[in-house]
Structure 1
Amino acid sequence: MNTSKRISWPEKSVRLQQWGSKLRLSRNVAGSFFLIATVLSMAFLGIGSGIFAAVVMLMAAGCLSILFFPFRYLGLRGLFALFVVCFIVEQFF
């Protein structure tokens, strides 16, 4: 979490501390990823529905980060397992 100065994260890894010290770079990388995802959504779904899908994905990512990060319901392995399960369900069912 790079945007708030009030949140403390004592067990932050060294790599995340390095990214946190480079605030402008990390924001640009995150914005670039979102822009790429929006362009790909627009390319595959059309302009209107692609923009709508990008907004929905942004809201979902925000909700999940608010839900999982501060309360520490899931760790990194748990989030990865949840991603794998959702990916499998999406692909095969």
Structure 2
Amino acid sequence: MEAKDVLKNYQNFAVIGVTTNHEKYGYKIFKCLKELGKTVYGVSPIYKEIDGEATFPNLSAIKNPVDVAVFVVSPKFGSDYVKECSSLNIEKI
């Protein structure tokens, strides 16, 4: 499935590795998805909020459904999030 199809067919996104740094992709992707009208959950064990919106320390803390998990983290952390996606039945990563 191509990125445009994911954007067309899914509404709820988790951005893993969201950051307050406006120059980094974790922030840019978060903002872009918001601007597209998507429901976006920021996931970061470091930041408590991004632009006044609460973030989550991990995917399990999100109580609403997540259709797609977007990874913007180092591969050394990514495998743990892949396992968490699997346990939460998040198939699109």
Please tell me whether Structure 1 or Structure 2 has the larger radius of gyration of its CA atoms: 1
Instruction: Name the one with the larger helix percent.
Output: 1
Q: Same fold (TM over 0.5)?
A: no
Task: Return the structure number with greater relative CO, CA threshold 8 A, min gap 6.
Answer: 2
